[in-house]
Structure 1
Amino acid sequence: MLKIQPSHTTLSGAAYFNPKTKKLVQYIPPQSIAVIQHKDIDELAAKALIYRKVKAVVNIRTSMSGEYMSSGTSLLLKQGIPVFDVLSYGEETGKNKELKNYISEQLRHGEVCIINDLYLYKLQNGRSVQLAKLLKYTEEIIQLKRSEADLNSLNQLQQFAENTLFYAKRDMEDILKPILLPNIHTLIENKHVVVVTRGKGYLEDLLAIRPYIERYSPVLIGVDGGADALLDCGLTPDLIIGDMDSVSSSALQSGAELVVHTYANGRGPGVEEMSSNGVNQYVSFPCLGTSEDAAYLLAYEAGAEKIVAIGSHTSMHDFLEKGREGMGSTFLIRLKIGNKLVDGKGIRFLFAEEAL
């Protein structure tokens, strides 16, 4: 059991809350307090918060559970950004209302909050109103969580493998059969295709393959926020595919064809995202698996000669950080695509000097 140490931390700033960290980092101003709902903060989320220069992170969920080795919390602390978990809330403890609803009801964007002695307050009508009791992460707590993750690693691997095999067997027929493609205009047949996903090291790997892109002029597909990575590198995506929940408005307006990944019934969060953004020029692609899986399948079924994956999710750690407990669809799709798929994950290490 964690022992809560007395804290002399006192800081204040405008607070911003979004249950999806990848959305919050699109607009939170520098030197703000980021209030998130993100179990086991992953490396990408931490780097995005660091890039936005937030002052502190308050997490409604557990920033580092010890279920597996998540690295985001440690990265934030190394950059001098304190991380707090909400333990209880309100003037009284033991309330049953869900924390997310409580925070969203009590906290308006840009409202000034104060963190003092393990409590979160907001300023209201000239007085401090207590919102939550906090746990502050220290190096001691992080080491304890790492030890827990080490002890859980074998059991976690077993559960992950069993989940992967279960869903691979269940979905095998649907994934391995030919899939009806969406009506797109981008020509893919007999061309090289680069699929960019927001995975570990995706931006550095994309920069490392610039000579290849300049030589072969491949079709460029951005999976959700991967489209913004292409734009950041001076490249224009030909296609953007995904749930569209982490794509900037500039990417949506870049001229790329938009393909919304949906469930088999044609519904999905991407449809609502497009509607809320006032975008109606898109096609739907019903497909099992992740949006990354859907991008590979689309390129393969459209006759791509080679598919180069940047920022791919392939390890147990990759999937656990995405909140997925297995990789059945990814396993099957990689079997189906075979040697057409070239995984560029980590290619930056082979060309370190050139990439710099």
Structure 2
Amino acid sequence: MKLSRLLPREKKSLPGVVGVARVERRSGDLLRRVGAGDIAIIEQADLDRRTAEALVEAEVVGVVNAAPSISGRFPNLGPEVLLAAGITLIDEVDREALRQVRDGTRIRLHDGAIFVGDRQVGRGTEQDANSVADHMIEAKAGMAAQLEAFSANTIEFLRKERMLLLDGIGVPDLEIQMEHRHVLVLAPGYGHADDLKRLRRYIREYRPVLIGVEGGADTLLKAGYRPDVIVGDPGCIGTETLKCGAEVVIPAHVDGHAPGLERIQDLGIGAVTFPAAGNPEDLALLLAEAHRADLVATVGFQATLNEFLDRGRSGSNPSTFLTRLRLGGRVVDGTALATLQRSQTPTGALMLLVFAVLAVAFVALTVSGLGVSYLGVLTDVGNSVFAYLKGLFA
């Protein structure tokens, strides 16, 4: 009797997104350990753009939020960022259900449901482009109330921090000289790495003081620049960056507590604290202002009203508003600066210059009777001019 060979059945792939659950109520703590292929489980109403960008950069495949990602108070930008990156977003999942999901568990998301193995442990609302667009329309109606609350908060903040904002009292001393120099402040905002690339020519010509704000300091180092000053929580900054030789400024709470100070001490790095209620971006601007910088170029900062109201991105909004007023016309957006740099030298004039150089070389070599050997020389001249133009537009 001939026995037939039994073949194993092919395992059917289940629909949805599969990944390792990373559970953390505070998104800031989660961002330090989430990685590629993970599913972030958070509880954050009005998911801000900065948190969403960090999740995209970490290459998560899904986000499960126990809170509404858009509550309707104002049009926050985080959900749009996640969906644009193709990341699944499920909102308002029951907190009790999420407690069944342990950190490190492999889970699956499908059609608003959360599965552990074949067992459904929770369900929420899976957002898509249409649902987020509808929520954003509703949220814009709440902007007037947010602006009124912002005005009241601004007055209160000015009352508490008037000595810092008006007189610069409390700004720490630094060894780097900023007086009569340009300062470039790089924050880890949307598109900051690309904007930095566009400013290569500006950095080469003006050699500004480079201030990196938290993740912006890491970006400077990766781009080949050593930051002169680092501002922010050391827990959000890479070890190599902290050890690069930059002066480190740690924001401190009103009570004097400075998050990340222990890490600095463990690394044996010197640092100064900056006691203030503002966010790291604003403190970096105040440092440049207090040390008499002629111009401050900002990269990765808020650019629109929606971003300005997005509380997670701007931190203390009254601080941002009043800091910009303090610096006045000395602040310029890095994107605009890059545009002006590109438009300074007309391309047509440069091409005429190239042809003029080649023509002069051709005439000179013809008169000298060198014959066809002038082609090699012309090639060298052309290569030199091309290299110059490449460096000019880099």
TM-score (normalizing by structure 1): 0.79
* Corresponding position of 1:112: 106
* Corresponding position of 2:293: 304
1:222 Cα deviation after fit: 0.7
Q: Which runs of structure 2 are paired with 1:27-106 in the superposition (5 Å)?
A: 27-90=33-96, 102=99, 106=101
Q: What is the letter of the counterpart of residue 217 of structure 1? A: R
* Corresponding position of 1:136: 126
Tell me if the contact between 2:53 and 2:190 (Cα under 8 Å) persists in the aligned partners.
no
As a proportion of its length, which structure holds more helix? 2
Q: Deviations over 1:274-309 (max 9, x none)?
A: 46x655532212234222221122222223232222
1:199 Cα deviation after fit: 2.7
**Aligned counterpart for 2:139 among listed residues 119, 141, 149:** 149
Distance 1:332 1:309 in 2: 16
* Corresponding position of 2:324: 334
Structure 1 gaps, min length 5: 1-7, 92-98
Q: Which runs of structure 2 are paired with 1:200-349 in the superposition (5 Å)?
A: 200-271=190-261, 274=264, 278=267, 280-313=269-302, 316-323=305-312, 327-344=317-334, 347=337
1:343 Cα deviation after fit: 3.2
1:227 Cα deviation after fit: 0.6
Q: What is the letter of the counterpart of residue 299 of structure 2? A: I
% identical aligned pairs: 31
Structure 2 gaps, min length 5: 1-13, 344-391
**Aligned counterpart for 1:10 among listed residues 11, 16, 22:** 16
Distance 2:135 2:393 in 1: 34
Change over 3 Å in CA distance of 1:191–1:43 after alignment to 2: same
Q: Deviations over 1:70-116 (max 9, x none)?
A: 2332332233321012431446xxxxxxx7xx47xx522x3211335
Tell me if the contact between 1:36 and 1:57 (Cα under 8 Å) persists in the aligned partners.
yes
Distance 1:157 1:336 in 2: 20
Structure possessing the higher relative contact order (Cα contacts under 8 Å, 6 or more residues apart)? 1
Tell me if the contact between 1:43 and 1:72 (Cα under 8 Å) persists in the aligned partners.
yes
Q: Secondary structure at the match of 1:157?
A: helix
Q: What is the letter of the counterpart of residue 137 of structure 1? A: Q
TM-score (normalizing by structure 2): 0.72
Tell me if the contact between 2:243 and 2:269 (Cα under 8 Å) persists in the aligned partners.
no
Distance 1:203 1:258 in 2: 21
Q: Secondary structure at the match of 2:74?
A: coil
Q: What is the letter of the counterpart of residue 294 of structure 1? A: L
* Corresponding position of 2:383: none
Change over 3 Å in CA distance of 1:266–1:325 after alignment to 2: closer
Tell me if the contact between 1:14 and 1:33 (Cα under 8 Å) persists in the aligned partners.
yes
As a proportion of its length, which structure holds more strand? 1
1:346 Cα deviation after fit: 5.1
Q: Secondary structure at the match of 1:213?
A: helix
1:234 Cα deviation after fit: 1.9
Report the count of equivalent residues: 332
Aligned-residue Cα RMSD (Å) equals 3.2
Tell me if the contact between 1:204 and 1:355 (Cα under 8 Å) persists in the aligned partners.
no
Tell me if the contact between 1:243 and 1:273 (Cα under 8 Å) persists in the aligned partners.
no
Distance 1:348 1:25 in 2: 31
Change over 3 Å in CA distance of 1:44–1:201 after alignment to 2: same
1:326 Cα deviation after fit: 6.2
**Aligned counterpart for 2:178 among listed residues 170, 188, 203:** 188
